[in-house]
Chains A and B, each alone.
Chain A
Amino acid sequence: MNFPIPPALILILGALAVPFMKGRMKNLYVIALPLLALLCVYRLPEGNLIQFEFLRGFGDVNFLRVDKLSKAFGYIFTINAVAAFIYAFHLKDNTQHVSALIYIGSALGAVFAGDVITLYIYWEIMAVASTMLILARKSTRSYGAGYRYVLMHILGGLFLLAGIVMSVSQTGSIAFDAFTERNLGNSLILLGFLVNAAAPPFSAWLSDAYPESTVTGAIILSAYTTKTAVYTLIRGFPGWEILIGVGCVMTIYGIIYALLENDMRRILAYSIINQVGFMVCAVGIGTNIALNGAVAHAFCHIIYKSLLWMSAGAVLYRVGKSKCTDLGGLYKSMPWSLAFGCIGALAISAVPLTSGFTSKTLIIQGAAEAHWQWAWLVLETASAGVFLHAGIKFPYFVFFAKDKGLRPKEAPLAMLIGMGILAFFCLFFGVYYKPLHDILPFPVDYEFHPFTFEHVTTQMQLLLFSALTFFVFLPMLKRTDTIVLDTDWFFRRGSSAFVWIADKSLNGINRLVHGLVLGRWVPGLVHFFRQGPARLMVAAMTPLWKARGLEGEALDDTRRAFFEKTQLGAFPVGVTAFLAVALMAVLFLL
């Protein structure tokens, strides 16, 4: 290979040609682009392939850093994109195609970025392109959600930028490697990454916006933003213990909210937070086996989570509804969507012989070997909870539960093919995990075998008893037509409160000042300047008139007449001349 082609540019530049294509040609073209990018990722040799000087003294801009870690994410990003575009073969909307390609391309760019400047630029392109995918739904709700989404990502981007500026000025290098110093700059970078990883309390953007996106948009969104964040955490912050706590909170938080939710796509959105929690926790543990687990889990997660979104998307596409209270009994009319959805549900629950089992076992093994007992306990608990909220709840309430009399057609063939490809990978990596373990970046000194009798038995015990809990307590899980308040309440309702407080306080001050200055002081001044000199002269003349013997009404009449004359300046010439002479005399004496 003579000149290395960045896979990001294939998608981003390729996207520009989409509006000029028509019909099937366009759909085939958008499938071909990520295939080409996949081939390109495969053929890239390891090393820093495109470097040039940008800021003298701060090191080179490293446009294309290829190693096993970036390649692993490159593979899964492109594979998932191919499946998603096959699924979206019905789609004719240019906005979605172009923004999806730019979004995926910039995610690839961020993964292959070897310096923080390149990373930051791609990071921001991702935020903008992904917002377009949400707005493409063209509903009032999606506009609101998209607006909140982009505001949250601007906030995260600013954390990141501030952190980068502080970190670069301190270390004098723009290279993006593991951050070891625990200082403010690096912590801000971590915070920026965690906003994109949807760590509470910065998680509401995900569960708020993704379910408001289009059928295709949500599938594509579910894979890239959070997993790019996981990649940057693996690269930048392995072994930062705080991530163990953050990850554990995410896993449990995702489960509780998914249990409360009614919208099937919101259930899946919360289970993304739950699954990313496993990866964040693994990064915090920071041993090679745990980091490999994070990579493997990100890889498998993208596949089964896309598959679940596809299954839910097929239902939304055919039925036009996404609330569990409106759905149910679809198993007969959409058997293939059910079957693929179930494979995804089994994989996310880490049932043996599915991909989730091989990858999650690595993380839990990592936690156990590093002797993080409480983290290990939370992860095991969360594994049980995943089966509860995603593994059973999603297929049960959508495809079984109460028959709502919905008899839609099965999803279109292209959708089924897209789902079929991902379902195949879910099972393939569950049975034959060697190719997956071969691409894992961190060296471990022993062969890992997830399929020991012990692993399988304990995992099955955990899952089966969770299933038992689900059906025992089913009446308590009955769906209600409600939404669940999340941290977005603070800025959705909080903003109204802010406006109210601002109205009452600032506008109150405004009204007060207005009343005082414009209502009193200015008229007072005007009054003073209009009548002041006349009053002064009347006051000066009064003793004179009194001396002349004027009293009572006569004095008042004289004063009023003099006041009016003074205001009008209507004095007889003689008096004016006398006053002028008097003034000059005074000046002369002075």
Chain B
Amino acid sequence: MNADEPTPPENDGDQEKDWIYRDSTKRLLWAVLGTACFLSFFAELFMKRHAHFEVDQSLGFYALLGFGMCTIMIFVAKGLSYVLKKSPDFYERPGDGDAVAQDVEKPESEEGKP
């Protein structure tokens, strides 16, 4: 489903991977997503419009809005990441060695055995 190739070291053959990580599954899911996008676009042809403004009268407005705006937001986020992303210990001072969360609920997870 994505370009993020999961490669557990022991699994070389495609069929040995979990169903969700197989390349064939990825292709299938891409096809499903593409078809769904097409269907939603196709359905608009049969739709009776009650547009409130001028912009939303054109065909495929919502598809364009969804794709275009999300793309812009991803690129804006990517641009900001160069300024705003910092290493996780950015705020920690040298003395705060124990700053990693000591989870109080960890001991209880032992008791939570079903």
Contact among A368, A457, A493 with B53 in the assembled complex (CB-CB below 8 Å): A368
- Report how far A461 CA is from B36 CA in the complex, Å: 9
B86 adjacent to A465 (CB under 8 Å): no
- Chain A interface size, as a band, is 35 or more
- Chain B interface size, as a band, is 35 or more
A461 adjacent to B62 (CB under 8 Å): yes
Query: Chain A's nearest CB lies how many Å from the CB of B83?
Result: 8
Answer whether residue B15 sits at the interface, using C-beta atoms and an 8 A cutoff: no
Q: Chain A residues with Cβ under 8 A from B78's Cβ?
A: 476
B33 adjacent to A468 (CB under 8 Å): yes
Contact among B33, B62, B101, B104 with A136 in the assembled complex (CB-CB below 8 Å): B104
B70 adjacent to A454 (CB under 8 Å): no
A466 adjacent to B67 (CB under 8 Å): yes
Query: Chain B's nearest CB lies how many Å from the CB of A26?
Result: 14
A317 adjacent to B109 (CB under 8 Å): yes
Answer whether residue A546 sits at the interface, using C-beta atoms and an 8 A cutoff: no
A471 adjacent to B33 (CB under 8 Å): yes
Interface 1/0s, chain A 449-467, versus B by CB < 8 A?
Answer: 0000110011111111111
A403 adjacent to B18 (CB under 8 Å): yes
- Known: A405-B8, A464-B37, A467-B33. Contact between A137 and B20, CB under 8 A? no
Give chain A interface residues in 490-531, CB to chain B under 8 Å: 492-493
A483 adjacent to B85 (CB under 8 Å): yes
Q: Chain B residues with Cβ under 8 A from A474's Cβ?
A: 2-4
Q: Chain B residues with Cβ under 8 A from A403's Cβ?
A: 6, 8, 18, 21
Q: Chain B residues with Cβ under 8 A from A92's Cβ?
A: 108
Answer whether residue A485 sits at the interface, using C-beta atoms and an 8 A cutoff: yes
- Report how far A202 CA is from B53 CA in the complex, Å: 34
A461 adjacent to B40 (CB under 8 Å): yes
Answer whether residue B31 sits at the interface, using C-beta atoms and an 8 A cutoff: no
- Report how far A465 CA is from B43 CA in the complex, Å: 14
A376 adjacent to B52 (CB under 8 Å): yes
Q: Which of B21, B62, B99 has the most CB of A within 10 A?
A: B62
Q: Chain B residues with Cβ under 8 A from A401's Cβ?
A: 2, 4, 6
B73 adjacent to A388 (CB under 8 Å): yes
- Report how far A485 CA is from B81 CA in the complex, Å: 9
Query: Chain A's nearest CB lies how many Å from the CB of B22?
Result: 12
Minimum-distance CB pairs A-B, first 5: A465-B66, A469-B70, A368-B52, A259-B77, A139-B101
The interface of chain B, by Cβ under 8 A from chain A, is 1-4, 6, 8, 18, 20-21, 30, 33-34, 36-37, 40-41, 43-44, 46-50, 52-53, 55, 60, 62-67, 69-71, 73-78, 80-81, 83-88, 90-91, 96, 98-106, 108-109, 111-114
The interface of chain A, by Cβ under 8 A from chain B, is 90-93, 136-142, 144, 212, 214-215, 252, 255-256, 259-260, 316-318, 320, 329, 331-332, 368-369, 371, 373, 376-377, 380-381, 384-385, 388, 400-403, 405, 409, 412-413, 453-454, 457-471, 473-478, 480-485, 492-493
